[in-house]
Chain A
Amino acid sequence: MELFTLLVLVLDSTLRLSVPLILAAMAGLFSERSGIIDIGLEGKMLGAAFAAATVATFTASPWAGLAAGIGASMLLALVHGYACITHRGNQVVSGLALNILVSGVTAVLGIAWFAQGGRTPQLPGEARFLPLEWPGAAWLREVPGLGTVYSELLSGHNLMVYLAFLAVPTVAWVLYRTRFGLRLRAAGENPQSVETAGISVIALRYRALLCTGVACGLAGAYLSLAQSASFINDMTAGKGYIALAALIFGKWRPVPALLACLLFGFLDAVAIRLQGVDLPGIGEVPVQFVQALPYVLTVVLLAGFIGRAIPPKALGVPYVKER
């Protein structure tokens, strides 16, 4: 029973930790499927987290914060687009430049505005997305098994967690069931054919980047408004890159990418929860081993279980309209 509760709690923590990865991976899906490499997920998330926390600090409204986060992230996405769609610059360089720029700018603005070493002030409860208790959760908690799953795993997350899991089917639907999605995928595989059909590849890719901006904005706002209660320097801590890895892990498809994100989140949660816990038959696991576990497993999985991932054909190739 103890073990079962532990498992449920680890899964619970997995959900919380994988949300930013899932949203960022969905963001990356839009831009990469349209043919734009997006190393800049990290920077867009960080910028969104800062904008969200700043606006929420002044307005005390999580919704205003969320809107600001999405806005900031879309703006950054447009900068990326301007550099590598309009001016056909190198997409990796542009993305990396964004990451470095945002990491510096947020710290400088944070110090200038709040004088707390780059952090924003702690947000009060009403300026954040707080956990939502599902009906009957407190009552069902006492029921063994199913009650634990319901009250711990399903209930008690904040709105954005549920939103992230809704985002995956939505993205899949947009990508595979709508005209926009079809054209977007075509732009990433064979842009000339899209142009031949009389559709502007440039406009399509800009729109894909705007979608990326929205999803990255959600991910960033989650970090500073839901998971933590303030912006912290470099709080994305490589999550953008991990999301990108998960995207490649998942072969640029929404559901496999979701699973990859959940795996990364799970390993992270295990690393946190296994600390100081006595495992049956093994005893207490050394902290260092637990912390190395996610990386070891990543290497093993990458080397042994994931087959060849084939990227969209036109990925990273600036589009030049023939004259």
Chain B
Amino acid sequence: MKRLCLAAFAALMASSVATAGDIEPAVVYDVGGKFDKSFNEGVYDGAAKFRADTGIDFREFEVQTDSQRVQALRNFARRGLDPILAVGFLYASALDNVAPEFPDTRFAIIDAVVDQPNVQSIVFKEHEGSFIVGILAAMAADGDSIGFVGGMDVPLIRRFACGYVLGARHARPDVRVFQNMTGTTGAAWNDPVKGGELAKSQFDRGARVVYHAAGSTGLGVLQAAADADRLAIGVDSNQNHLHPGHVLTSMLKRVDVAAYDVFDSARRDEWRSGVRVLGLKENGVGWSLDAHNEALVTPAMKAAANEAARQIVSGEIKVHDYVTEGDCPAK
């Protein structure tokens, strides 16, 4: 009888654990690391906010090498953590393999589409946000050239570059744009010295504003702009505060909101699989204006940026998407 009672009690406990509201979420970060002040840190901020709001703690893992991706996902899934959020497109193939093994675990991935019934794919229209900061860059350069430093040379980063160039040409049709990629491997996300050298080479060639989409490598770009007394544009998180007066603006990619949503929807049992596309319209991307860059953004620039944003949301301007539409029309 006693044993039966215990068993019943245990079953009761188990069932209460399974109800909504008691999730055990996890995040696996990309190689840039949790505190890259950019992409991964944005996700961390969102997850930390979720923890503060709900009191539900989350597990996390930072991969050091590519081979750890599958292990990390599988480990968390095996321990019963749910939902599991994978940060970065480099997880796509790992998740594609792991997700079918754990059909009851809810996965989410940022920046890639994984077609599995238990995966939510979150992608952003970075080209739209980049278009806006391109306008700001071209106007701030005022006749001079502008530049772009990408991280790893992949279609996703080309999408940033393409939107940026199109935006710049939208504001100043004859502006010259220098484009560089840091590398072709994952190490390209974590090489500030090289990022700084690339930015310096663009400044030397006459660029006045350089936009980076390069994770930790971008910290070197921002530093180079501050050292050369030029302007840089941050990415993903709001990076205006890193070098006040030298960061023109930041292209916000609201990965923090996305991460929060993944956890919160799972908590409320409203989580859905499939693809979520977040653009200007959904407030998934945008540009930052705060006390640190107020003085750099003139009213005319602000008006032009807001007008373009309105036109993109309403559909009057359609920004070319490198990932789905291929080759960029502007060089």
Given A229-B223, A232-B190, A232-B216, decide whether A291 and B62 contact each other with a Cβ distance below 8 A. Answer: no
Is A276 an interface residue, CB under 8 A from the partner? yes
Query: Per-residue CB proximity of B78-91 to A under 8 Å, as 1/0?
Result: 00000000000000
With both beta carbons as reference points, the residue of chain A lying nearest to B153 in the complex is identified as: A287
Majority SS of interface residues in chain B?
mixed
A287 touches B33 (CB 8 A): no
Q: Do residues B35 and A273 form an inter-chain contact, with CB atoms below 8 A?
A: no
Is B197 within 8 A of A232, CB to CB? no
Instruction: Answer whether residue A190 sits at the interface, using C-beta atoms and an 8 A cutoff.
Output: no
B194 touches A232 (CB 8 A): no
Asked if B234 lies at the interface with its beta carbon under 8 angstroms from chain A, I say no
Chain A residues with CB under 8 Å of B193's CB are: 223, 227-228, 235
**What residue of chain A has the Cβ atom nearest to residue B188's Cβ?**
A291
Q: Is the CB of A291 within 8 A of B180?
A: no
Contact B184 A117 (CB under 8 A): no
Residues of A within 8 A of B220 (CB): 228
Size bracket of the B interface = 20 to 34
Q: Once the chains bind, are B184 and A9 in contact (CB under 8 Å)?
A: no
Number of A residues, CB within 8 Å of B: 32
Inter-chain CA distance A237–B181, complex, in Å, is 19
Q: Name the B residues within 8 Å of A298 (CB-CB).
A: none
The answer to the question of B271 belonging to the interface, with a C-beta cut-off of 8 Å to chain A, is no
Complex formed: what's the CA distance from A228 to B195 in Å? Answer: 10
The answer to whether A122 touches B184 (Cβ under 8 A) is no
- The answer to whether B219 touches A117, judged by C-beta atoms less than 8 angstroms apart, is no
Of residues 96 to 136 in A, which have CB atoms within 8 Å of B's CB atoms?
A: 115-119, 122, 125, 130-131
B201 on the A face (CB < 8 A): yes
**Known pairs A118-B33, A232-B216, A276-B180; A13 contacts B200 (CB<8 A):** yes
Q: Are A275 and B181 in contact (CB under 8 A)?
A: yes
- Neighbour of B201 across the interface among A233, A237, A273, CB < 8 A: A273
Which 6 pairs, one residue from A and one from B, show the smallest C-beta to C-beta distance? A117-B33, A117-B35, A116-B35, A275-B180, A9-B204, A272-B197
Interface residues, chain A, CB within 8 Å of chain B? Answer: 9, 12-13, 16-17, 115-119, 122, 125, 130-131, 152, 223, 227-230, 232-233, 235, 237, 269, 272-273, 275-276, 287-288, 291
